[in-house]
């Protein structure tokens, strides 16, 4: 087995919130909910695409992410703004229906989301190498920068603490410096 090219490499492209808003505005109505989901949760695009309506419990705002790269399901509790968004997507749909769906009701997949996301990237004037996976990186970066414990970020993202430290640990160096400065006597 050979590893995926650049799979172990730190991702450098980061889209700030204004750039992500521009991406959403530039996106077609069909792909916009999928992109918004990627902007709101630190999920892999494939995991987001596989979500069904039945995996979201609107009452508790709990989302069960099925078998992802880590091969075991996990649950995350979402804030009201994300819960309301998912509730709108789920409204009137069967539990087995894709939560994020193309026109016609089929789930998105890498072959169907690539072109509309690439078009939105171009229309928004963003760097050409921005992809669906870039949005996962941006959300994880924001969570780390917000001071969320790395263990919690890893659990939300469905990855290990080691991977978060390897790929995002550099983002908290300044925070460590500030913390050390705050205890100086």
- Express each pLDDT in 45-80 by its tens digit: 999 999 999 999 999 999 999 877 767 889 999 999
Length of the chain counted residue by residue? 185
- Burial letters 145-175, b for 16+ CB under 10 A, else e: eeeeebeebbbbbbbeeeebeebbeeeeeee
Give start and end residues of each alpha helix (H) in 59-172.
80-90, 110-124, 132-145, 150-157, 161-168
Query: What's the pLDDT at 68?
Result: 78
Q: Which residues pair with 107 in a beta bridge?
A: 101
Mean pLDDT of the chain: 91
Cα separation, 5 vs 11, in Å, equals 12
pLDDT at position 20, please?
Answer: 98
């Amino acid at each position: 087995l050979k590893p995926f090219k650049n799979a172990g490499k730190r991702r450098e492209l980061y889209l700030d919130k204004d750039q992500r808003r521009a991406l959403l505005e530039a996106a077609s109505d069909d792909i916009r909910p999928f992109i918004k989901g990627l902007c709101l949760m630190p999920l892999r695009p494939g995991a987001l695409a596989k979500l069904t309506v039945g995996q979201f419990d609107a009452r508790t705002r709990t989302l069960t992410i099925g078998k992802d790269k880590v091969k075991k399901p996990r649950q995350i509790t979402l804030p009201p703004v994300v819960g309301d968004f998912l509730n709108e997507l789920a409204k009137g749909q069967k539990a087995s229906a894709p939560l994020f769906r193309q026109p016609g009701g089929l789930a998105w997949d890498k072959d169907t989301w690539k072109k509309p996301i690439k078009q939105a990237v171009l229309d928004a004037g963003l760097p050409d190498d921005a992809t669906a996976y870039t949005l996962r990186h941006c959300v994880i970066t924001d969570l780390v920068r917000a001071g969320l414990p790395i263990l919690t970020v890893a659990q939300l993202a469905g990855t290990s603490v080691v991977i978060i430290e390897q790929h995002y640990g550099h983002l908290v160096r300044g925070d460590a410096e500030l913390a050390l400065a705050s205890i100086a006597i």
